[in-house]
């Protein structure tokens, strides 16, 4: 089975600030689960995992008046971590209003926070600014204002992020172009962590229908370098339920300053989902799981669609996290914003390791090349039949469960009856062909296990080694 390795890459004497992963596209990584939402009323979330093993979290607060910082040894631990205010807006003048989208990075042995801010007397004069802290611990020491990032034009600009690639540190950001009036994406090399050099390249302009709902917006870039490519995600449209994520891609060997090196995905890679009650997902960042083996998508959204008034005045964007999966061709598969609560698993066949449990027209089966990721994601929840059992709830159809219906496995909506609860419950067992994996014994028909046969799922007794292999699955 192909595996990938994660590599911390130094650049310009610094820890890389884009997550850089090497190796071929991996079908498998160990399971990780988290509980959403992670942190209430924290938008534009940025999580940085430092070499000290801690996760550092910052985000926009709804008052738009300060920059906060949290730290925890685990991603879930950020939810209950104490929060420090490390900087407050100025009482007048520049940096006096709309304190937005802070990102924390560690470069050349120092901490930096990039953020956007307006003037106290002109709140929409948004520009990008930088703080520096030379202490090893960003919670102590002094945060020094390094000043404004000067770009090619003195116009609305925000959402600065930085990454290092092939020996060059870059800044990527969103800025209004006076000629076209849109918030577009720009890239430039940096001469130091608060100064760009050369002429910026404009990488993307919002022209597609899903980029121009409410407002014409490309903003909030974030970079992930993986599988021989540089993936640059961004957010588009107004900050209501229309908000969504797009993606640009360039080969790692390309000249990133040449706009022709980049291709734009013509459809959003992550968007609102009414079935899971998640609306306006975006302004993402990337981090890695505690074991370093899984990519984690960090983003904000709301749990409701309808907003009264300006969405920027609605305080309830919240931070969420979920595992990022990868297609066989080495491209990221974002899936859908999963329901609130515990995040789901995928179940990979033991003896057909490129195939996963999924549902097609509500019939359970195993299939390969799962581009429709959510059809192969299930939450393993406390069994409907009670303690000591588990049920497998669909991610794409919350409230629907895999169940034993006349020895065939179907995805059905719970009707609340005892019969349904028993047929949709299983006893989790050690994998019948591999004790490190899992198998599921039917509660309604003890002695029968969930297994595949000709790629369809059944509840059947196990008598041969092949039967046992067919009934064994690895969690991802």
Cα separation, 449 vs 442, in Å, equals 6
Q: Please list, in sequence order, all residues whose beta carbon lies within 8 angstroms of the beta carbon of residue 407, skipping any fewer than 6 positions away.
A: 445, 448, 458, 459, 460
pLDDT of residue 34: 98
Q: Is the pLDDT score of 319 beyond 50?
A: yes
CA atoms 252, 253, 255, 259: torsion sign = negative
Q: What's the CATH superfamily of 5-342?
A: Glycosyl hydrolase domain; family 43 (2.115.10.20)
> 342: helix, coil or strand?
strand
Cα separation, 67 vs 75, in Å, equals 20
Side-chain half-sphere exposure of 86, counting CA atoms within 13 A: 32
Q: What is the mean pLDDT of residues 369-373?
A: 88
**Average per-residue pLDDT in the chain?**
94
The residue written with tokens 């959510």 in the block is 374
**Eight-class DSSP state of 359:** E
**Active-site residue 132, yes or no?**
no
The residue written with tokens 């859908």 in the block is 336
Q: What is the mean pLDDT of residues 188-198?
A: 97
Cβ-contact 86, 143 below 8 angstroms: yes
Q: How far out from the chain centre does Cα 408 lie?
A: 35
- Could you read off the pLDDT of 413-458 as tens digits, one per residue? 999 999 999 999 999 999 999 999 999 999 999 999 999 999 999 9
Distances (CA, A) of 408 to 314, 423, 431, 476: 47, 11, 20, 24
- Could you read off the pLDDT of 93-151 as tens digits, one per residue? 999 999 999 999 999 999 999 999 999 999 999 999 999 999 999 999 999 999 999 99
Angle at 421 between CA 416 and CA 423, to 5 degrees: 135
The region of weakest confidence among 18-32, 123-137, 305-319, 360-374 is 18-32
Cβ-contact 280, 239 below 8 angstroms: yes
pLDDT of residue 7: 31
Cβ-contact 50, 56 below 8 angstroms: yes
- The more confident residue out of 6 and 222 is 222
Q: Is the pLDDT score of 157 beyond 70?
A: yes
> 259: helix, coil or strand?
helix
User: pTM, whole model, 2 decimals?
Assistant: 0.94
pLDDT of residue 348: 97
407: its two tokens: 């020895």
- Could you read off the pLDDT of 2-40 as tens digits, one per residue? 333 333 333 333 333 344 343 333 447 899 999 999 999
**Active-site residue 408, yes or no?**
no
In 293-379, which residue ranges form alpha helices assigned H by DSSP? none
Q: Please list, in sequence order, all residues whose beta carbon lies within 8 angstroms of the beta carbon of residue 417, skipping any fewer than 6 positions away.
A: none
pLDDT of residue 178: 82
What H or E segment, with its residue span, contains residue 180?
A: none
Catalytic residue among 211, 219, 412, 476: 219
Angle at 223 between CA 220 and CA 227, to 5 degrees: 150
98, with CB counted inside 10 A (0-12, 13-18, 19+), is buried
pLDDT of residue 29: 85
Across 149-258, the runs of DSSP E, i.e. the strands, are 157-165, 168-176, 183-192, 195-196, 201-204, 218-226, 229-236, 244-251
**Domain extents for the chain?**
5-342, 347-475
pLDDT > 70 in the chain, percent: 94
The closest of 375, 385, 456, 457 to 423, measured between CA atoms, is 385
DSSP-assigned states of every residue in 7-23: ---EETTEE-SSEEEES
Fold classification of 347-475 is Trefoil (Acidic Fibroblast Growth Factor, subunit A) (2.80.10)
152: its two tokens: 């090619």
Q: What is the mean pLDDT of residues 289-302?
A: 98
The closest of 294, 290, 348 to 53, measured between CA atoms, is 290
Task: Kindly report the backbone phi and psi dihedral angles of residue 330, in degrees, each rounded to the nearest multiple of 5, phi listed first.
Answer: 85, 10
Q: Please list, in sequence order, all residues whose beta carbon lies within 8 angstroms of the beta carbon of residue 446, skipping any fewer than 6 positions away.
A: none
Q: Is the pLDDT score of 203 beyond 50?
A: yes
Cβ-contact 472, 458 below 8 angstroms: no
Reported confidence tier of residue 43, pLDDT bands at 50, 70, 90: very high
Q: Please list, in sequence order, all residues whose beta carbon lies within 8 angstroms of the beta carbon of residue 412, skipping any fewer than 6 positions away.
A: 362, 400, 401, 403, 405, 420, 424
């Amino acid at each position: 089975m192909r595996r990938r390795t994660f590599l911390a890459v130094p650049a310009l004497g610094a820890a890389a600030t884009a997550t850089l992963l090497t190796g071929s596209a991996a079908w498998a990584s160990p399971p990780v689960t988290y509980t959403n939402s992670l942190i209430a009323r924290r938008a534009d979330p940025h999580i940085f995992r430092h070499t000290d093993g801690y996760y550092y979290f910052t985000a926009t607060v709804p008052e738009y008046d300060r920059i906060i910082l949290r730290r925890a040894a685990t991603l879930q631990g950020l939810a209950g971590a104490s929060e420090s205010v490390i900087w407050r807006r100025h009482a007048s003048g520049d940096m006096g209003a709309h304190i937005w989208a802070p990102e924390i990075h560690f470069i050349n042995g120092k901490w930096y926070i990039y953020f956007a801010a307006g003037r106290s007397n002109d709140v929409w004069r948004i520009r990008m600014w930088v703080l520096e802290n030379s202490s090893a611990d960003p919670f102590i020491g002094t945060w020094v204002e390094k000043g404004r990032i000067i770009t090619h034009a003195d116009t609305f600009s925000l959402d600065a992020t930085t990454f290092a690639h092939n020996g060059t540190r870059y800044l990527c950001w969103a800025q209004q172009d006076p000629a076209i009036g849109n918030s577009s994406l720009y890239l430039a090399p940096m001469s130091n962590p608060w100064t760009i050099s050369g002429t910026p390249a404009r990488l993307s302009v919002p022209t597609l229908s899903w980029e121009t709902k409410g407002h014409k917006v490309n903003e909030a870039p974030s970079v992930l370098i993986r599988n021989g490519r540089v993936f640059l995600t961004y957010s588009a449209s107004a900050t209501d339920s229309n908000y969504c994520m797009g993606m640009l891609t360039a080969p790692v060997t390309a000249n990133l300053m040449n706009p022709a090196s980049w291709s734009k995905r013509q459809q959003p890679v992550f968007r609102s989902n009414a079935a899971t009650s998640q609306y306006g997902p975006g302004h993402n960042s990337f981090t890695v799981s505690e074991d370093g083996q899984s990519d984690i998508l960090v983003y904000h959204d709301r749990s409701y669609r309808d907003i009264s008034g300006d969405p920027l005045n609605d305080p309830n964007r919240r931070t969420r996290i979920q595992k990022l999966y990868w297609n066989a061709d080495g491209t990221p598969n974002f899936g859908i914003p999963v329901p609130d609560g515990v995040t789901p698993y995928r179940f990979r066949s033991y003896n057909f390791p490129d195939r996963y449990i999924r549902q097609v027209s509500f019939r359970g089966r195993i299939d390969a090349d799962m581009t429709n990721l959510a059809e192969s994601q299930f939450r393993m929840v406390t069994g409907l039949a009670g303690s000591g059992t588990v049920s497998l709830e669909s991610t794409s159809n919350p409230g629907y469960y895999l169940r034993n219906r006349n020895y065939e496995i179907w995805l059905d909506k719970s009707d609340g009856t005892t019969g349904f609860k028993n047929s949709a419950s299983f006893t989790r067992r050690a994998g019948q062909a591999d004790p490190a994996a899992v198998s599921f014994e039917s509660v309604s028909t003890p002695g029968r296990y969930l297994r595949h046969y000709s790629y369809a799922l059944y509840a059947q007794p196990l008598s041969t080694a092949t039967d046992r292999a067919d009934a064994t699955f690895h969690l991802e």
